[in-house]
Structure 1
Amino acid sequence: MKVLVPVKRVVDANVKVRVNADNTDVDTANLKMAINPFCEIAVEEAVRLKEAGVVSEIVVVTVGPKAAQEQLRTAMALGADRGIHIETEEALVPLSIAKLLNAVQEKEQAQLIILGKQTIDGDNNQTGQMLAALANMPQATFASEVKVEGDCLAVTREVDGGLQSISIPLPAVVTVDLRLNVPRYAKLPNIMKAKRKPLETLAIDDLGVSLKQHQTVLKVTPPAKRKAGVMVASVAELADKLKNEAKVI
């Protein structure tokens, strides 16, 4: 079985982001970049399936600038076999990303596509669902457990009411949640081996995909700073402030 794992280059989750001077985007200059945490969980799950003898090949793919090859190499150090880089300097919306991933899937014919449920920069939670629709493949979102059972996939999903267990036929698209696994750290020998693994670079035109501008960013601003809290002397004073100042009761 071949598994396709899309990943994204994002600002490291431990770094405080800031808006650039002209309020057009997030300033990424001199910031540490990393694989999106949900994507890292997807890579880990694919590697675990390979270690279990279920998967024979793991292909990681990303869409982004040349620097995004660093994240592909990291994914290969974690256990992926080869990488595909769709190079573009333009920030693309989820629908455009899904179209490009679908073109890659048509070429690779993977039996399973595993990706993070969302990225920590856009937080859209759309790409996996759109990809499943474009590829006409069954999907399971917010997965906290994944098991391959013959020609089907048994998935436990995290939903508002608790956990939902479903079975879907392969090939399929799965988006993963935080509690699926804990990603491993790349070992130094594997980091060195990853430098020699094949990495294919493609342009958008190479995939024959026509993309449109679906939205325009008008302005990017940081969230408003929170005001300092106020200490109250009694429950009665707290209730009075909640009722008359905050007006929440």
Structure 2
Amino acid sequence: MVENLEDIHKTTTIISTQVNFSVPKQRWLGIYSMKYPQLEFRILSLLSITEERGNCLLHIKGNKIVSFYKEFSKEHDPKNYQLILQDKGEILMNIIFDRPWVIWSIVEPQVIIMYPIKIQNGKITIELIAPIRKVEEIFRKPIWEKLNIKFNVARKYCAKDPSLNEHQKFILDKAIEFGLYDIPRQETMTDTVKKLEEQYNYKISVSALSENLRRISKKLAECYVNCRDTEEVKLDTITKKYKK
């Protein structure tokens, strides 16, 4: 039985993959993105209000943005959208929409959506991080069969954050700022220790600073090595299903 997150990572393959598919033509995003192919629609967030309604924060940029907004505002009830920002070549809107479609089947536990979700010329691109079994479970559903779905390379997920604590982040930032990583080095460890105390009231010995920098460098190096050659993962059960 899986009892904690560490066990989950030991027993489950987590992958990151990019999925491309067609926006259903009857949906408003499909209609507008096809009519205005020069515009890029970027969904910055999706939130559930009820099972039948959702909220979308949408950023749109490109040529003919004025024409798009005039048409959109005429065809939609002002109660269901809010213009947050309008600038040259871009707008930002909050939109309430009914009957969430296929994207909603992805917004569920164990699936992380990497925003923004990009839509242009009737095509949508979503980057996901999830257990491989969950990805296969989602995309076996009949709703996807007519949407020209395509998977880009799927890889075992590798967290690029080396998990430095706040103390280590501060030391790293100041070590770079003060030139400790420059070649040749701009100042000595002793100089850096003095600056840290004088400018930030941060007291640390030369030996402790040196030890911390070695620990930080080790974490950064391990993170790089672990993520350098991330293994590709084949989604055979899905790709065969949609292969023509």
TM-score of the pair, normalised by structure 1: 0.23
TM-score of the pair, normalised by structure 2: 0.24
Higher-helix-fraction structure: 2
